[in-house]
Amino acid sequence: MTSPLFRTKKVEQSIRDTEEPEHALKKSLSALDLTVFGVGVIIGTGIFVLTGTVAKNNAGPAVALAFAVAGVVCALAALCYAEFASTVPVAGSAYTFSYASLGELPAWIIGWDLILEFALGTAVVAVGWSGYIHSLLNNVGWELPAALGTRDGAEGFGFDILSAALVLVLTGILVLGMKLSARVTSVVVAIKVTVVLVVIIAGAFFVKGANYEPFVPKAQPVEAGESLHSPLIQLMFGWAPANFGVMGVFTAASVVFFAFIGFDIVATAAEETRNPQRDMPRGILGSLFICTALYVAVSIVVTGMQHYSELSVDAPLADAFKATGHPWYAGFISFGAAVGLTTVCMILLLGQTRVFFAMSRDGLLPRFFSRVHPRFRTPHRPTILLGVIIAIVAGFTPLTELAELVNIGTLFAFVIVAISVIILRRSRPDLHRSFRTPWVPFLPILSVAASLWLMLNLPAETWVRFGIWMVIGIVVYFLYSRSHSRMSPKGDKASVPRSR
């Protein structure tokens, strides 16, 4: 007899749950909306900062190749997500996929992981957005009181009012409906992509061929570290990656990979897509392709404008324009980054609420949160709850050291989804799949290997924090979720709230 911990939820049941009137989300999104969501969450400050920083420290002009490599790694995971999101068009992304293939406990673990990833990611991005707005306000002579400024480096009481306000405003937009959210995102993404294209086109006029020499600088070995701040792979094997050279390109790829994080959030909107079988693969793969092309173009421009060894670390692209005698672009780039982070924050919050909603509908979290708004057809209860909590966290907490938890959470989800594709192919070969991941099981296995490799390159302290969060999640599962699950013999009756 199968253990209750690994009881699976049939795909057909998951789809039927989306048709219950009180728990059904409104279907309003198109392939274009999904692509815009993907571009909106992937393109952030990384395109303006990470490109030059990695060129200076890891790969030189070959950083363009590093972005291409990272794009291929993400494409492996994206192909797996595309199959699942089109076959199981249900809110919850990796949580829902693993429930259908691996079982309830693994599904809970990945759902608990995604809650941390998206919530913390939203708060981190909101704090980053606040920093850009503070900078822009200072440029025009406006300055907020110290008690209402950023928490990083603050002494005594302090509350980052701007980051909290951003989260609350975006929470309101998400409550009012997905179509409104898509429209706001479309406008902001259009502005953001325009800024990026202007930077690429303008920067191309200042490119000097001599700055590309050598395109692949000579390799420089890196001394292995021994503290928790060192990558886990160094502590396990005493191995340290090289900077520059051919191996430096792969080292750089493991760093710039995190600039791509976010395309998986598109899968959380599957239930709100009009034609998910056709549009989910287009949205996931289309947004990834567009962002890869923009990243490669920006990296080529920044290393051509200024020699990689002279690039600054804090604002390499803006400072490259200053070095060519065009400081006005620095403010323009800051504006683009601030605008860009708005959509990143909103779409992360969107992903968080959809996973929470899906887990609530299954009874693993209180079913109170699975009722949708009678007019807007959005999960307003978890959206408001999580929005308020994240706003408080963003306002009171300096989050720079915790940002890497977002990365390990995303990579863990990649691993689970790739494994789930293999399992569901064997357990349910009868399912209609409008999109099929090619070369199964070899491509998903390659995706798992690439994701695990990048996880091993994260600091050991990140693994410790991640482990603590997972232990807390397992305790919550056995104290509440296991008995309230709709898959348990009495869970469905116990977890359905009384009608009013």
Q: Which string of DSSP letters, residue by residue, matches 74-105?
A: HHHHHHHHHHHHHHS--TTTHHHHHHHHT-HH
Domains of the chain in start order, with CATH, are 4-491 (1.20.1740.10)
Q: Which pLDDT band holds residue 256 (cuts at 50, 70, 90)?
A: confident
Task: Report CA dihedral (219, 223, 320, 63) to the nearest 10 degrees.
Answer: 50
| Chain segment 324-334, per-residue pLDDT in tens | 888 788 778 87
The residue among 76, 52, 46, 78 whose CA lies nearest residue 64 is: 52
Across 424-444, average pLDDT:
93
Judge contact between 156 and 163, C-beta under 8 A.
Answer: no
Residue range 244-263: mean pLDDT, rounded: 84
Report the pLDDT value the prediction gives residue 155, as an integer from 0 to 100. Answer: 56
d(CA 302, CA 448): 32
Residue type, 77: A
Question: What is the per-residue pLDDT for 2?
Answer: 61
Task: Read off the pLDDT band of 235 (50, 70, 90).
Answer: confident
Q: Which of 308-317, 338-347, 433-442 has the highest mean pLDDT?
A: 433-442
Torsion sign across C-alpha atoms 489, 20, 355, 390: negative
Residue 499: pLDDT band with limits 50, 70, 90: very low
Determine how many CB atoms are found less than 10 A away from the CB of residue 289: 15
Mean pLDDT of the chain: 87
Residue pLDDT, tens place only, 69-81: 999 989 999 999 9
Confidence at 479, pLDDT banded by 50, 70, 90: very high
| 122 neighbors 348 (Cβ within 8 angstroms) | yes
Distance CA 379, CA 362 (A): 14
Q: 131 to each of 126, 128, 173, 266, 311, how far by Cα in Å? A: 9, 5, 22, 27, 22
Mean pLDDT of 413-428: 93
Compare 158 and 433 and report the one with higher pLDDT.
Answer: 433
DSSP string of 127-147, one letter each residue: HHHHHHHHHHHHHTT----GG
CA geometry: angle 358, 360, 362, nearest 5 deg: 75
Given this model, what pLDDT does residue 242 score? 77
Rounded Cα–Cα distance for residues 320 and 205 (Å): 13
pLDDT digits (tens, 9 = 90+) for 51-96: 888 999 899 999 999 999 999 989 999 999 999 999 999 988 899 9
The answer to whether residue 402 scores a pLDDT higher than 90 is no
> What is d(CA 108, CA 105) in angstroms, rounded to the nearest whole number?
5
Q: Alpha-carbon distance 41 to 36, whole Å? A: 9
Reduced to 3 states (helix: H, G, I; strand: E, B; else coil), residue 52 is: helix
Average pLDDT over residues 442-460: 91
pLDDT at 314 over 80: no
Structure tokens at 26: 């409104």
Asked whether residue 109 carries a pLDDT value surpassing 60, the answer given is: yes
